[in-house]
Structures are given as structure tokens and as C-alpha cells.
């Protein structure tokens, strides 16, 4: 099954072939959370609905984007079944290239996300691959979590695996979030 993704030149996305300085430059010029997530989607060759930013507030991870998840609830950092909670608790980035086999909370996957580039054929697809990284301040205090996923009907239809280079780019994105104060912007 063919995936409706941005064109990719080798590797898993534009981020895999873009120089670090160029990626950092692009990320640091984003002015809103929406613009930042749109830029991340392009860098990783994913749909906008496959980028999530969560802010940590009073022990809960609350979605900043996608917009539809803002009202769907929050994730307690103490949760033993949520990958985002584990990312916040351990302060470690993780990649899952066979995410459908990872035991996790699926409640947010059931929320229908409206995204212009999503087609109806992707409506019932599930997260197959996921990267999750903590957003830390200068004192290593957790401010939130960024997740990039690839959805599909199976691992093969979800697109290429995430790589070590992708994880490095996601780490740069988490740093950019901190430097720009993205988690505090209203949009």
C-alpha cells in the first residue's frame, strides 16, 4: 500500500539529509507552535497529524497540538501505560519502529484528527512507528514531550523506520522548543 507522504530523498526524511545547522536555523525561526509542528512534519516527512507536542502541567501531560487532542484529556506522568509519561519520567528519548506491538495506552489514537493532507484512506490507520523525546529546561526539568509518529495499516505501509539521525534531529527540536518558549506560546 502506498503512503501519502512528503517525498523523501534517501533515509527517512528531509531531516536525515539536511545539515544540522540548517535544521537548527529553520527550527529557530518558527514563531508559533503550529508553525513549529508544520516544520517538524516537513523535516521528518510525516503528516501534520503525526506530530504531537505536550506541555507538563501539575503532573499531567497536556496536548498543545494536535488541536483535537487538547480537549481529549491529559496523561498523568505517573501512568505506567503511556509512552509520553515514560519519556517525561525517565527524561530519555525513545524510538519504536514496531510500535503496534508495544503495550501502550491507545485512548488518544481513537480521537479523529482533522488534517488537510490526511485522506480518508488514512482515517483508520494506527500508529506503527513512534519517536518520543522530552523537552527539558537548562536545569533538566521536564517541560513537556514531543512525539513524531508514522501511521499506517501495518508497519510496511507506515513508511521508513526512524533512524539514529532522526532521533538526533528530534533532540534538536526539543532544544529549539525550550529556546523559543514554544510551549508557552498561544496560537
pLDDT in tens, 117-143: 554 445 567 889 999 999 999 899 999
67 contacts: CB under 8 Å, gap ≥ 6: none
140-149: per-residue pLDDT in tens?
999 999 999 9
Grid coordinates given for 166:
532522526
**Is 132 in contact with 94 (CB distance < 8 Å)?**
yes
Overall fold of domain 18-184: Beta-Lactamase (3.30.450)
- 184 has pLDDT over 80: no
Spatial separation of the C-alpha atoms in residues 77 and 85, rounded to whole Å = 4
Spatial separation of the C-alpha atoms in residues 140 and 55, rounded to whole Å = 15
Residue with cell 512528503: 6
Does pTM surpass 0.95? Answer: no
* Segment (H or E) for 57: strand 51-57
Residue-range domain boundaries for the chain: 18-184
Grid coordinates given for 104:
501502550
Amino acid at each position: 500500500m502506498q503512503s501519502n507522504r512528503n517525498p523523501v530523498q534517501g533515509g527517512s526524511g528531509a531531516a536525515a539529509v539536511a545539515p544540522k545547522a540548517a535544521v537548527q536555523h529553520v527550527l529557530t525561526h518558527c514563531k508559533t507552535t503550529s508553525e513549529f509542528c508544520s516544520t517538524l512534519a516537513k523535516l521528518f516527512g510525516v503528516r501534520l497529524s503525526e506530530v504531537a507536542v505536550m506541555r507538563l502541567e501539575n503532573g499531567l501531560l497536556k496536548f498543545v497540538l494536535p488541536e483535537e487532542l487538547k480537549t481529549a484529556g491529559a496523561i498523568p506522568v505517573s501512568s505506567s501505560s503511556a509512552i509520553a509519561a515514560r519519556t517525561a519520567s525517565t527524561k530519555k528519548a525513545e524510538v519504536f519502529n514496531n510500535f503496534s506491538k508495544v503495550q501502550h495506552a491507545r485512548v488518544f489514537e481513537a480521537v479523529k484528527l482533522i488534517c488537510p493532507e490526511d485522506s480518508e484512506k488514512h482515517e483508520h490507520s494506527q500508529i506503527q512507528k513512534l519517536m518520543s523525546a522530552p523537552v527539558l529546561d537548562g536545569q533538566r526539568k521536564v517541560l513537556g514531550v514531543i512525539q513524531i509518529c508514522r501511521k499506517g495499516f501495518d508497519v510496511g505501509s507506515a513508511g521508513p523506520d526512524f533512524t539514529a539521525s532522526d532521533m538526533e534531529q528530534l533532540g534538536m527540536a526539543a532544544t529549539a522548543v525550550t529556546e523559543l518558549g514554544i510551549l508557552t506560546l498561544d496560537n
